[in-house]
Each structure stands twice: as C-alpha cells, then as structure tokens.
Structure 1
Amino acid sequence: MSEIKTEILNQVLSKMLGTEITNVDFQVTQLHGGTLGDVQLITGNATTVDVRKLPYQIVSKTQKKWERYGDPDSWRREYDLYQSNFGTLFSESFRWPECYHVEMNEEENESQIWMEYIEGVSGLDLTGDMYERAAGELGRFQGKLYAEQPVLLQNLTNLSKVEDMKNFYLRYRSWNRVYDYIRSEDCTIPQHLCKMLIDIDENADEIFNRIEQLPVVLCHRDFWVANLLDLDGKSIVIDWDTAGWGYLGEDIASLIADEADLEHMVEYYRKCIPAYYKGFSEYADVSHITDNCVYELILLMFGYRLVEWYRNAEEENKLEETDDESAAQHVHTLQKVYEMGNL
C-alpha cells in the first residue's frame, strides 16, 4: 500500500474542492493492487481555511515501472496522457475520470495520479442497455477523432502501436503450451472448438489482410467490463495504460469477449456491433465496410488466451484436488464465440 503524504493530499483536495485546505483526516481502502498499479480510495474530512469541514472521496493510483511485452512505456502512458490535453477529446457522455494532480518520481520510476472517484455500475452488473450505450459512445468517440484528426492526438508520442494486436496473436501462436495442446490427443477442449481456433491459424494471413483494410482508430485496448462504469447513463472508462492505435472493432471485441457475461454474450454481440457502427458513422462513412471482422478479432485476441486460462485452471484443480468451475467457463466462452460464428 502506497504512503499517503498529507501535504500532497492538502494540495490535491484544494484543487478538487475549489478552496484552500489546511488540514485533513483520512482513511485508506485498497481498490486494486498488483503488477499494474496500486489503487487506493482515500476518504475523510478536509478542513478549509475558514474552518469548514468538507467530506471528500478521491482515488490515488501509484504505478511503478514494469515492462509489458512489446510495449515497454505503457507503465507511464496514463501519466503522460493526463499530463497532456488528452482529456479535452472526450465528451460529457464518454470520458475518463477527472484528474486533480499527477507526479512522476524519475529516480524511482514511479508515477502517482490523483483522480475522481466514481460510484457507477461496472463489471457483470452492467445491463444490456449499458453495454449497447457504451458501444455507441465508443463509436462516436473514435469516429469523431478519426474524422477530425486533431493535432493534439497526432503529437502524442507514447501510444501503443497498430501492429500490437497482431504481434500479440503471433506470440501466443508460437507458444507450444497452447498451440500444440489444441492439436494433441490429450486436449480436453471439445474438438469443434479446437477446429475453430486451428481454422483461424490456417487462414490468419487472409484474415489480417481484411482487418488491415479497416480504419485505424484510437483504441483503449483494455475495453472490458471492469474498466467501464455507467453513471447516470454516461460511460466512464478507466485504466488507459494500453491506449493507442488499433483497428476499428478491437475495443468492441474486448467488450464482448473479455471476462464475458456468458448468459448474454451472443445477445451483446448482436446488439453492440450495430450500436458501435452507428455511433462511428455519425462522423465518418463506413457504409463501404461489409465485413467488420469482429468475430475474427475476438478469436485472434482471446482464442489462445482462453486456452491458456483453461489449462491453468485445470492444472490448479488437479494440484489442489478441487473442482473449480473456471475451466468450464473458459470452454463455455469459446462455445459462445463458436455460436457467434454461426449467426
């Protein structure tokens, strides 16, 4: 848990509350911790210069340097974006949390971001209407930037590269643990699902040729339900450290397939893609795109990852002599993707 410095907290709250703060009390609740960052909710009362006490809630996110495969500067990307005017590109209905203060400790290779705390609906509590609304808002956001090509966006130097999605797939495909497994007699994943993944491999060059004809847009690249909050009908997206250039549809593939709501996965596939394209087409003509490749993007981005998760869960069950259901859920996800391919 990162140390909270009172003098910094005073400074941050003075900006957030719009008045000079002279003293604070606070309590810390861990929101998220691990490799990707230490996120804490800070709550308490702030004393103003005229001795009023104001309750507050604010989030502190501390990020230490670490190296993501193929994207070594992603650890500081959110800091860099908050330091820029990137926030001006959002709308009231699609935005990130407001930021009140950022710091970078160059010696320790560590950033700290102080931002708005949002109590919205997130994760598997999101409803179908919220999924569809987020898909439409994402389309509008990407379509507007694609059409207007703002100079601010072109001048950002720390964004992930358009080829990262393809490299991610090729790296997984070269990994014997998953590649050989779905082709082996020992594989316990149903044969028709293995064939679905093998067919993608065998046709990957042709599939990527089609994907590479799609518009290149600014993607969040981790656009899944845990990073999406719905607050009073508005979509707020957190964790922008993977943001960068990608193909139209990458983020929708994530929304549909990453830690999916299995009961409604096919329904959301049907609803979110038209909503996304409708939002995008408000700013840019995509009527010529007859193949959106979202089904293929889901398999390229999550197919082998689901095989990895399945194998990990199966091995953990054997090691601990348990019957955890997570392995079955990963197969169930692949089954739902298979059903999408037959629509």
Structure 2
Amino acid sequence: MSDLPVPVPEALGTVVEAVQPTHNQGNAATGGIWLVEGSAGSAVLKIARPPTDPPSGNPAWPTSDDPGHWNYYRREPFAYRSGISDSYADFGVAAPSLLSSSELPDGSVALWLDVVTGTPGTSWKPADFQSFAERLGAAQGSFVGRVPPMPWLSRGWLRSYVERTPIWAKWDVDWDHPLAQVWPVAVRRRLAALWSARLSQVDRAVAAPRTLAHLDVWIMNLFSSPTGFTLLDWAFVGEGGLGEDPANLIVDSVTDGYLPVSLLPEIDAAVTSGYITGLRAGGYTGPVSSIPSFIRAYGAAKYSWFAPAVLGRCIAEGTVGHASYGVRGTAEEELARLTGLVTMLARWADDLPLD
C-alpha cells in the first residue's frame, strides 16, 4: 500500500501497513514527512527537498541550496549525519536516531528517523518546562564561545527571519478597529511601535553571548519521558544567542491554543529559572542577571510580527490560524484568548518583567 518516494528499510518488514503524512506542506525545504508502519516496526521518513522551478511551498517558506540561507534544505541532513543533532544528548536532550539516509536523483535527501514516544510538549505542565530548560541551559552553557565551524550551520538566523516577517504581517493595521478593542490601548500602541522598530529589537537581542542554538524549540518539537527529552526538527540549527531558544519556547507554548494563555506566567518563570540554573551547571561563567533581559529581547524581536499579523488577518479575513495545526475559535475569541500573550510581548519590548 506504499506510494513513498524511496524504498522502505528492511528493518520495517516486508509489508507496509500504514503511511501517515504529517508535515507542513508550506515549507519548500520539506518534500514530505511520513510516519511509516511496517510489519516489523515503524519509522519516520523525512525528505529534504532542494529548490524547484517553479518554487514549491508557501512564499513565506522558500528554501535554497546556499548554506548561508536561513532555510538551507541540506542543513538538517548534515546535522544528523555529522552528529550535531546529538550535541545536547549528554545533558538529557536527545534528537531522534538516524536509521539511514540516502541521496535521491533530484538532489533531495531522504532521512529515516526513529519514532519518538513520550509525553508531547502540548501536554506539558510548568514543571516539565523547567526541567527541559535546565537541560537546555546546561547544553548551551557548555557551547558558549565555541560554536562548531561547520559552514552549513545557520548564522544570523534571527535577522533573516525578522526581515521576511512582512510576508505575514502584510496589512496596514488599524490598531483602533473595533476588533482590536479587546487589547488595552497602551498595549496596542506598544505593539505598533515594536513592529515599526523590529530590526532595532534584533540589534538588542543579538548582543547576547553566542552559543549553539536549535532555533525551533517549541512544544510541537518536544517530547518528555522518564529518561529525558527529545527535540525534533534540526533544520535551523546554528549560532544563536543565550536566551534565544527559551524565548521561543515561552512564547510559542501558547500561540496555537494547545496550552492556555493563563499558564504563560508560570511557563515564563519556569523556563527562565530552569535555563539559568542549567547555564551554571553547563559551565557558563557570565552574569546570569542579564539572562532574563536576553530572553525578553529575543522574544520581542522574533515575535514583533505576531500581533500585527493576527490582528490584520482578523480584520481583513475574519479568521486566523494555521491550516495544519492549532486549536482555533472565531476571530473575536482568538483575539481575546491572546490578550495575555500580546501584553507580555509589549512589556518584553520595553524589557519589563511579566506581572
């Protein structure tokens, strides 16, 4: 019953019993992700796809054969083949095991990965976030000032990301529209200013000490088990700043509705304290008092687009959300649900702690 683009490994057995596609089809660097169940076992097949003519996927997620590109299609295959994806393993954060990889005639790369089990990040409690952040902090503390020199590792990722966010926040937002009234006026004013000054926010963020960062740490890429944590999707891995990954985890824990925004203060506190504890355990000797400011700077910079994109789409289209994932209500319900999050981003832009 298999119509997969590559042969199935012998370890899965002689019969393919089920094939379930699981990927976001908008990313041009991904030619497909399938959970494949065979008569003798299961595995995940992921295809890393080169640029196509005409371009594949969503214009917001183009790929490139340039190793310096933020979405370089071979970065994840290189990460698995080189062992970079195992860089955090000694600290309790593992990547899926690479079972095999192969080059395809069109330049794509096929990765067969072990199936990850455990509790998904979408079901975590604040204590899980804190435990993970400790391990992440220890790993990243050990890499401060010694990011590996591989030319395919991403560098300057945040700036490349923020420079393309007008693709999502493409509307001339009326911050006083009736739909926007659910957000306090002072918050709306600060969010508008943050959007206008987003590149200055990047400048503020990237002053943080450099380390080896994953750059896509969010609850959909995380699993926990009694033996540790597993972190998926190493397609952006490279040089980043202390606080960059924790900021992403805090903000993106609630954006899609899997966890309630009411948990955000607890998640913020848990991730921040856990990360600081981990940094010290990993050998970081710099001033940890600056780490919360780094987290807030990265969060405000990366998500400077979020409020204008959400509000603009609600006003223009009457809807919001991603077709492939998320738990959604009406536009009015979503704007109300996100009030706590956008308020936090407004405060982070001014480097204020969350009350």
TM over 0.5: yes
Letter in 1 for 2:239: W
Q: Does the Cα contact within 8 Å between 1:310 and 1:326 map onto a contact in 2?
A: no
Asked whether the 8 Å contact 1:227–1:237 carries over to 2, the reply is yes
The alpha-carbon distance between structure 1 residues 275 and 2, as it changes in their structure 2 partners (threshold 3 A), is farther
Provide the identity percentage. 18
Separation of aligned partners in 2, 1:289 and 1:205: 24
Instruction: Map 1:1-343 onto structure 2 (within 5 A).
Output: 3-4=3-4, 7-10=7-10, 13=11, 23-36=14-27, 37=30, 38-46=32-40, 56-66=41-51, 67-68=62-63, 71=69, 74-91=72-89, 93-105=92-104, 107-146=105-144, 149=146, 153-154=148-149, 156-162=150-156, 164-172=157-165, 177=170, 180-181=172-173, 188=180, 190=183, 191-200=185-194, 208=202, 210-260=204-254, 261=259, 262-282=261-281, 283-287=283-287, 289-290=289-290, 292-317=293-318, 323-324=330-331, 325-338=333-346, 341=352, 342-343=354-355
Equivalent in the alignment of 1:50: none
- Give the deviation of 1:5 after TM superposition: 6.8
RMSD between superposed Cα atoms in Å:
3.3
Q: Secondary structure at the match of 2:122?
A: helix
Secondary structure of the 2:284 match is: coil
Kept in 2, the 8 Å contact 1:25–1:45? The answer is yes
Determine the structure 2 residue equivalent to 1:17.
Answer: none
Q: 1:302 to 1:269 in 2, by over 3 A?
A: same
Question: Structure 1 residues 299 and 124, CA, compared in 2 at 3 Å: closer, same or farther?
Answer: same
Q: Distance in 2 between matches of 1:2 and 1:313?
A: 40
Return the offset for 1:135: 0.9
What is the one-letter code of the residue matched to 1:129?
A: A
Q: CA deviation at 1:119?
A: 1.8
How many residue pairs were aligned? 316
- Whose Rg is larger? 1
Name the CA shift for 1:167/1:58 in 2 (closer, same or farther; >3 Å): closer
Structure 1's 255 and 176: CA in aligned 2 closer, same or farther, altered over 3 A? Answer: closer
- Counterpart of 2:323 in structure 1 is none
Normalised TM-score (structure 1) = 0.79
Aligned partner of 2:173: which letter? Y
Which amino acid is the alignment partner of residue 114 of structure 2? E
Superposed CA offset, 1:119-169 (max 9, x none) = 22124211111111111111111112226x37xx22x2211113x313433
Q: Give unmatched runs, 5+ long, in structure 2.
A: 52-61, 321-328
Higher share in helix = 1
Amino acid at match of 2:43: I
The alpha-carbon deviation at position 271 of structure 1 amounts to 1.6
| Deviating more after overlay: 261-270 vs 81-90 | 81-90
The structure carrying a bigger strand percent of its residues is 1
Structure 2 length normalisation: TM-score?
0.76
Cα distance in 1 for residues equivalent to 2:170 and 2:4: 43
Amino acid at match of 1:251: D
In structure 2, what is the equivalent of residue 51 of structure 1? none
- Structure 1 residue ranges without an equivalent (≥5): 15-20, 47-55
- Tell me the residue number matched to 1:52: none
1:157-198 deviation per Cα after TM superposition (whole angstroms, max 9, x unaligned): 211113x313433444799835x5266778826322222224
Q: Judge conservation of contact 1:309–1:330 (CA < 8 Å) in 2.
A: no
What amino acid maps onto 1:269 in structure 2?
Answer: D
Letter in 1 for 2:343: Q
* 1:56-113 Cα deviation digits (max 9, x unpaired): 12111123235349826522211111121324423252110001101122x4232211
Other structure's SS at 1:61 match: strand
3-state SS of the aligned residue for 2:290?
coil
Query: Secondary structure at the residue paired with 1:146?
Result: coil
Deviations 1:262-291 (A, max 9, x none): 121111111211210111122111226536
Taking the aligned partners of 1:94 and 1:182, their CA distance within structure 2 comes to 43
The one-letter amino acid paired with 1:181 is V
The 1:266–1:338 alpha-carbon spacing in structure 2 relative to 1, beyond 3 Å, is farther
Hey, what's the Cα distance between the residues in 2 that align with 1:197 and 1:116?
42
Cα distance, 1:195–1:170 mapped onto 2, change above 3 Å: farther
* Matched-pair contact (CA < 8 Å) for 2:17–2:39: yes
